[in-house]
Structure 1
Amino acid sequence: MKKLNVKLIDFWIVIPYILLLGIGVVMVYSASFYNNMMVGGSTTQYLVKQAIFAVIGMVLCFLGYMLKTSILKSRGVITILAGITIPVLLYLVFKGILVPSNKVNGAFAWVNLGLFNYQPLEMAKVFFVMYLALVLSNKRKVLMDVTFKEMLRTNVQQIVILGGTIFLVLIQPDIGGAMVLTLISIVMISASTIPSKLIISMDVSLVAVVGMIVTFLFTFKPGHFAQSYQYQRFLAMQNPFALERGAGAQLVNSFYAISNGGLFGVGLGNSIQKRGYLPEPHTDFILAIISEELGVVGVVIVLLLLATIVLRMLLVGIRSQNVYTSLVMYGVATMMMTQIFLNVGGLLGIIPLTGVTLPFISYGGSSMMILSLALGIVLNLEAEEKYDSIKLR
């Protein structure tokens, strides 16, 4: 029970986390009640669900915090994470191929569990962080002096598992999710003990390959790709007002919401764009509703709370003397930072819409619970280091 010592708890993470959960519950209700009322449903439907997700999230955060670090570092945990991620991704891919009409927003990424929809991508993010942290920390001495060929030869299993998982997410298709997993991998590998020259050559090669693939797709526009939901989102980003009645509708109404809000907003509950103009405003575009109702001030507060958590994890990772702890910190920070960038960049029209949720704010059970678990693990590893340092005094 040593971890219940208040001195071991990082309140720079805990307080912003709790505040974000509260803001998320309130804003999900504000963004969803009007549409629910119009269709004759309960106006508190999403409020109740999001509140339940928040409570479950806090419980998972606590459990992640209380687990023994030896359990977190065990291969058994990695095997369990892989077992509830990769087979489900395979199932979704095959189901999407066999029954393409059941895709939602152009992708087949969820499994209906009754109470909520399970998105294996969220678990894949934690799996990537824990798996890479374990492998890279265990091989830290070997990786200090390794050539590119030796690294490929000795890490075939890891490359196949990670690359295969990213591929399964990509062909759902979920480009945003594949980007998050790829960036987690790049950051954690770059932060490992692999020689800098090798990391730079790997990163440059990866960027070149991705660049060539993207260039090919958007230059030659293969038939299937040109008709895809993802390509339409790219066109919408380039000129949303030209596609206002089609793929650009969400982005245009997001702009209207941001413009309406101004500095201080129109008041909580008074958004116009959530009233049938902005589809599903309680999910990917909830920050646009926050901007309209609470203004720039409200958006800045939310982003500052998120930034506090991310920056705190990066700081703890930099200060840590333990390779495993540092890598977990960098991995979870990258997970959150990438989601924030993809969500905010999408609703501002800087990048194509990816369907990525805003951490702890957007409606969604899988995202809320997995991110909370990840924060619990982060707090756990930090507390363990603090306890060890206190014992050495």
Structure 2
Amino acid sequence: MGIRKKFSYLDYYIAIPFLLLIAVGIVMVYSASSDILSVNKIDPTSYLRRQFFWALAGLFFALLAFLSKLSFWQNRRVVMLGIGITFALLIFLVFLKIVHPSSAINGAVSWIPLGPINIQPLEIAKITVIIYLAFIFNKRGQNLERGQIFNNLLGPVVLVGLITLLILLQPDTGGASILALIIMIMIFSAGIPIGFGLSFIVAVSGLLPLLINILKRFPIAVLEKNYRYQRILSFLYPFQREQSGGSQLVNSYLAINNGGWFGRGLGNSIQKKGYLPAPYTDFILAIISEELGVIGVLVVLGLLFFLISRIVLIGMRAHTTFRTLVCYGVATMLFVQASFNIAGVIGMLPITGVTLPFISYGGSSMLSACAAIGLVLNISGTEKAEKQFQEMRKVQ
């Protein structure tokens, strides 16, 4: 299929929200970062220019994924090469933490420095795990019946479980949780009997509130110096611990409260002026709320969740297991990441450092999300082309 022909099958219900979200992200990164950069005598357009560069690079990655042949992503050698590279990068991070502990930020080593840029292997892992599981279940889907599940799932689950464990060892709890949920949804979507899935979901849903209640009632003194434990306590008691970790959530609440329904106006946030740490990454949604109000937040989240819903719909209509599972995996990745970010901003989950897709500042997350969208556009276009071909054959 030629390039011009391929573009004729472009899914505008994905492309338009995708481009709008990237544009909103560029504007909001500049708005959220310019004041604090000026105060520190740094070029106020610094993060704007970087985000614009990453957006262009992301669009290039999306274009490559869209124009490529789907058979390329189903090639066993390509899939296993991706898994091998992912393992190598994650093992290197563990090694880097051991030999160079000073590279850790808040106790975690999640980035590999390559000159002027940093690579986050977690973002590569998300895409490779989605493609790997879609490839495996496309081959073994017919064998996922009661009595054969264990033998057919053991190898793939152990492999992706090891990847998740390596991310947890960085340690990156938020990233590991996102990957674990992607794996869980893809496994359940591959044809596992519903009883297995429901049992697991009920068990996890009951365990999390129980653990939170235990931490509230019985603080663990021996963990008082642990950074992640401190984050959990700051989440549980943000106002009582405002001077020792709770200030992020308190200032997020203030930003949301300041914005009201219609916001203070673009560029007029108060909390971004040194009160709210990293307002252009984890808490960019709080700045959107303060400047554009609840209405602005609803528009942004509406675009994002419309995009996710469209991806799910494409997966439901796809004619192969591989295409369906890739769409479900990408939709899960975007949904869970957005949900973690939103929940952190409004105090429903501990702050995990998870960015808001397409909106927050960041290179690796932008590239992986854009590549994922390009792959979904490829699947949508291929499905349209095949449908048109079938209709033409019927006419003849």
Q: Which TM bucket (shorter chain)? A: over 0.9
Closer/same/farther in 2, CA of residues 240 and 198 from structure 1, 3 Å limit: closer
> Could you tell me how far 1:227 is from its partner in structure 2?
2.5
Closer/same/farther in 2, CA of residues 65 and 352 from structure 1, 3 Å limit: same
TM-score with structure 1 setting the length: 0.93
> Could you tell me how far 1:307 is from its partner in structure 2?
0.6
- 1:280-306 per-residue CA deviation (whole Å, 9 max, x = no partner) reads 111111111111111111111110110
Q: What is residue 172 of structure 1 aligned with on the other side?
A: 170
Q: What is residue 65 of structure 2 aligned with on the other side?
A: 64
Q: What is residue 352 of structure 2 aligned with on the other side?
A: 354
Residue segments in structure 2 that go unaligned for 5+ positions in a row = 392-396
Q: What is residue 146 of structure 1 aligned with on the other side?
A: 146
> Could you tell me how far 1:322 is from its partner in structure 2?
1.8
Q: What is residue 38 of structure 1 aligned with on the other side?
A: 39
Q: Which amino acid aligns with 2:188?
A: S
- 1:343-380 per-residue CA deviation (whole Å, 9 max, x = no partner) reads 00001001111100000000000000110000000110
- 1:88-110 per-residue CA deviation (whole Å, 9 max, x = no partner) reads 11121232234333321332101
Correspondences of 1:312-391 after superposition (within 5 Å): 312-391=310-389
More displaced 10-residue stretch of structure 1: 90-99 or 379-388: 90-99
Q: Which amino acid aligns with 2:96?
A: K
- 1:297-342 per-residue CA deviation (whole Å, 9 max, x = no partner) reads 1111110110111000111111223211111111000000000000
- 1:180-239 per-residue CA deviation (whole Å, 9 max, x = no partner) reads 10110111111112222343345556667888988888868483x442222111111111
Cα distance between partner residues in 2 of 1:136 and 1:44: 46
C-alpha contact 2:143 2:152 (8 A) present in aligned 1: no
Q: What is residue 101 of structure 1 aligned with on the other side?
A: 102
Cα distance between partner residues in 2 of 1:316 and 1:182: 23
Cα distance between partner residues in 1 of 2:298 and 2:226: 34
Q: What is residue 226 of structure 2 aligned with on the other side?
A: 228
Cα distance between partner residues in 1 of 2:312 and 2:184: 15
Q: What is residue 131 of structure 1 aligned with on the other side?
A: 132
Pairwise CA RMSD: 2.1
Cα distance between partner residues in 1 of 2:211 and 2:125: 24
C-alpha contact 1:3 1:383 (8 A) present in aligned 2: no
> Taking every aligned residue pair, what percent have the same amino acid on both sides?
43
Correspondences of 1:156-195 after superposition (within 5 Å): 156-195=154-193
Q: What is residue 78 of structure 2 aligned with on the other side?
A: 77
> Could you tell me how far 1:240 is from its partner in structure 2?
0.5
Q: Which amino acid aligns with 1:325?
A: R
More displaced 10-residue stretch of structure 1: 311-320 or 101-110: 101-110
C-alpha contact 1:325 1:382 (8 A) present in aligned 2: no
Cα distance between partner residues in 2 of 1:107 and 1:72: 32
Cα distance between partner residues in 1 of 2:150 and 2:143: 13
Q: What is residue 296 of structure 1 aligned with on the other side?
A: 294
Number of aligned residue pairs: give it: 389
Cα distance between partner residues in 2 of 1:135 and 1:79: 11
Q: Which amino acid aligns with 2:234?
A: A
